[in-house]
Chain A
Amino acid sequence: MRKFIECTRQQPIMFIVLLLPFLITSLNAFGQSTDEPAGSWMLSPGILGTIILISIVLLVAALIGYYKVSTLVDKAMNSGSDSTLDARYSSASAYKLKGDELGSGIPAQDNKGVVTAVSHRPENPIVDEKKTTSISLDTPPELRKVILWYMGASAFWLIFGTLIGQYVGMKFVWPEMDTISWLSFGRLRPVHTNTVFWGWASLTMIGLGYFVVARTSNTIIHSYKLAWRGWWLINLSVLTGNIFLMAGINNGGGEYREYIWPVALLFALGLIITFINFYKTIAKRKISEIYISNWYLLGGLVWTIKLATIGYLPNIQNGLGETVIQGYYMHQGVGMWFMTFTLGLVYYYLPSSLNKPIYSYSLGVLAFWTQMLFYTLIGTHHFIFSPLPWWLQTVAIVFSAGMFIPVVAGTTNFLMTMRGSWNEISKSYVLPFFLVGVIFYFVGSTQGSFQAFRFTNYVWHFTDFNVAHSHMTMYGIITFILWACVYAIVPKITGREPKQLFVGIHFWLAFIGLFAYMISMMAGGTFKGMSWIEGKPFIESVILMKPFWVWRAIGGSLMFLSHLMFAYNFYLMVSKTKTGLKTATA
């Protein structure tokens, strides 16, 4: 806590900027009513806050864009000096030492163009040349194999899951693309969500986690056998679960627990095995302190195991009991698993990519406990105005606002770690992913808190705005950070780097795609909600969404293309390993 206060003293501006949306809206955040006059809805705290948040992301994108463009312009301006340079080259080739160079009074010259020519002729003309990774980490071949197979499987599920997502997205525009029962919208939608959750994000997270626990505990993994069992269980769970869903066998349609319990049990066993493996590895660490990343990794694992158990408990699911559990389960699935675990990864991979320590260890600890305390209580904010008890809804709203604390603590910590290294961002292909992920962590989470308020819920609930929010978080935060970590670690353990141009293409396709997706769904969702409030016929809200669904499909296509690029980059990083993935797999 002392650190927390210290850092507010040192960096008041950063804190105020981060807290700005909160300060503006906090005045009447709690005393909200729904009887806002229709004309001033734009000024309601939640909506105003959301607009500010989105403009933050736009600002960051503009800054990155400006940086890139100005480099290009500089390059163009300097290109005129080539002829002079050529002349210098020819004189330099005829250069002979006179013997009085050292100790003479002649001013220093760069006749050979050693300094001036160096960075002006990049290998590729489109993107800035990035630093190559200089460190090659000596990783046990068994561990390397485990990590790469977890990532490889997850890359497959990413392609598959987002292909399905893109397909169901297009069905909004062309509802008659097919009339095959296995491919109908209702059955495919959970295939998309469950695949990207349990197939893509979870597998990559665990793969990255294996490296972190071993590295930060300065020891080797407790059991590689268990790691492989976990791999099989989780992949088997996603595979059979998807087949069941497409065949029309689901658990009852509750989001993210559509897999029937035997399938979910496979996944839970995978998690339990992973937990045992992580726990025992950390238990035999060679240093006395438990690094902060491991707090989050262990916490995320035990909480999720417990969460899955409660989610599938049979005796509390009758009547609206199921709905209480549904709100709790679906929100904690996101908060206690993906968010917690991914934060743990950031606490290791971000500082290690910058080659410096995390800004504040204590802020990390504060964020850990508040994450557990506040996140657990906010599930019912998915059911505002529903027949669930009003007190449960109010608790959810209040603690949703409380989420500002872990979010601001985490964001401050990450941004302060990056501070002083902003130049690195244009020189690294890893850091832009981290920066976007961290900014979205702040923007997406804060926006989510705003969305829990009663008035914003009034406009946005049940509309496509929810879909925008879930992509802003699961994609903008989790997926971008996971990509950052993959690009940070894989070259170091395989000794093989991806082509920088391709990483750049991956980044910009994903980012622009996500933005098109988000903005179209947010705008469309708002218009939809307004149309309902005005009491227009329902079908009008379907008709008005058409152009927004088209834009969503366009954004989604860009995102999908970026995933193909990512898979190819991953292939490049592992396929032709110098010292040999081959020896590792053999």
Chain B
Amino acid sequence: MLNFHKNHRNLVVTSLLVFVGLSVLIAVVPASEIQRTKPLPSMKDFSKQERAGLNVYVAENCVACHTQQVRNIEMDNVWGSRPSMPSDYYFSKKRLDFWRQSPSILGSERTGPDLTNIGKRQAGKEWHLLHLYNPRIVVKESIMPGYPWLFEEKDASQVSSDEVVVAVPEQFRKGSSRKIVATQKALDLVAYLLSLKQADIEGEPGIKFIPAKKKNTGTDSQTQPSGPDGATLYTNTCGACHQADGKGLAGAFPPLAGSTIVNDNDPELMIKIILQGYDARAEYAVMAPFADMLNDDEIAAIATHERSSWGNNAPAITAEMVKKIRESIKTISQK
């Protein structure tokens, strides 16, 4: 009837029609269904500056190395408190303009960290600017490219008061003593990155993480003391600014090694700084609060690690101590 072997017209038309049919079923219909998803009530649209930053993000093709999707498997729990869902992309995935379509921010490769929650995890503007200028200033082993074309070099006299000067350390400046000033593009990009926070969801999230291992299968849980690992948590949460050697970064992030606050027998101030953030010293960048991101056990583990590393020697901290201070802060703020 169709005689594909001898009738080229039937052959081409049939293969095209079947392909179109399958494509509609597998791509066009699911795509138009899922794009109707509404945003979560807790989400808000990007500001004008943040949207400009998204454009820089796309132009520099950051999506080649950075994903923005928390998969529903245990190992992705470090990138967000819940798996990503279609609503999360309501504002970020819209057509950019007449020439360019909705950006592929989910990504396909994680050469660098996932950025779903980067605004929460790394809330410091100064950190981001340094990192963009040259990532190796703050993360020695990083292989991310620097983006010096998002910055300008200016003489100190030319810098106006509303411009943002980046405190690039001596060895990354190639001998130049001029000031390094962030351009509007750099500020936009940082504003976009800081806006990336996983939206809160009321009640239990519908999707849960699939655990990596069967629970209680071995005897491992009995041989090892349970509780979070302070060193790993430090690397994930604190090391980017205070550095792996605890020495911080002159002009940006204070050292923890030998710090009087860290070595103080009374840990109250130290724990308060972790919980509430810190902006008391003009020569250093602002530290973001971590009360919402870390629980008492985790803060205790990190603080204990900091108090016993890099030559520091101060007594360990327990979760109870953190809990007490957290509660006292709450009661103060309620009054």
A interface residues with partner B (beta carbon < 8 Å): 34-35, 37-38, 171-172, 175-176, 179-181, 184-187, 189-190, 248-255, 258, 260-262, 279, 282-283, 288-290, 294-295, 298-299, 302-303, 306-307, 310, 312-326, 328-329, 336, 365, 372-373, 376-377, 379-380, 382-383, 385-389, 392, 395, 458, 461-464, 466-467, 532-533, 535-539, 542-543
Contact = CB atoms under 8 A, between A and B. Distances in A.
Interface stretch (B53-61, B152-160, B299-307): B53-61
A454 B168 CA distance: 45
Contact of A538 (B72, B143, B212, B236): B236
A288 B3 CA distance: 11
A467 B110 CA distance: 12
A376 B25 CA distance: 10
9 contacts: A179-B148, A184-B60, A312-B101, A316-B35, A319-B34, A320-B34, A322-B31, A395-B26, A537-B239
A372 B11 CA distance: 13
Nearest to A388: B34
Interface string B98-136: 011111111111110100000000000000000000111
Contacts of B37: 319-320
A379 B8 contact: no
A539 B139 contact: yes
Contacts of A262: 99
Contacts of A376: 19, 22-23, 26
Contacts of B142: 175, 539, 542
Interface of B: 4-6, 8, 11-12, 15-16, 18-20, 22-23, 26-28, 30-32, 34-37, 58-65, 67, 69, 71-73, 75-76, 78, 83-86, 88-90, 93-96, 99-111, 113, 134-136, 139, 141-149, 210-214, 217, 232, 235-236, 239
B5 A310 contact: no
Contact of A34 (B88, B102, B108, B212): B212
Contact of A316 (B28, B69, B109): B28
A298 B212 contact: no
Interface centre among B30, B94, B139, B210 (most CB of A within 10 A): B30
A302 B12 contact: yes
Contact of A303 (B16, B31, B136, B211): B16
B254 to A, nearest CB: 21
B72 A385 contact: yes
Interface centre among B96, B100, B111, B236 (most CB of A within 10 A): B111
Contact of B99 (A176, A261, A321, A463): A261
Contact of B64 (A186, A377, A387, A395): A186
Contacts of A172: 143
A184 B86 CA distance: 31
B143 A542 contact: yes
B30 to A, nearest CB: 5
Contacts of A539: 139, 141-142, 235
Given A250-B61, A389-B34, A458 B149 contact: no
Given A253-B61, A254-B104, A319-B86, A310 B27 contact: yes
B63 to A, nearest CB: 4
B104 A252 contact: yes
A319 B64 contact: no
Contacts of B32: 315-316, 321
Contacts of B105: 253
Contacts of A252: 58, 96, 100-104
The 10 closest A-B pairs by CB, nearest first: A321-B35, A186-B61, A462-B110, A385-B71, A254-B104, A321-B31, A253-B63, A328-B27, A248-B59, A537-B235
B103 A299 contact: no
Contacts of B67: 462
A215 to B, nearest CB: 16
Contacts of B100: 249-252, 260
Contacts of B16: 302-303, 306
B297 to A, nearest CB: 15
Contact of B22 (A261, A317, A377, A463): A377
Given A316-B31, A463-B110, A372 B213 contact: no
Given A35-B212, A253-B58, A385-B71, A290 B5 contact: yes
B43 to A, nearest CB: 12
A299 B61 CA distance: 33
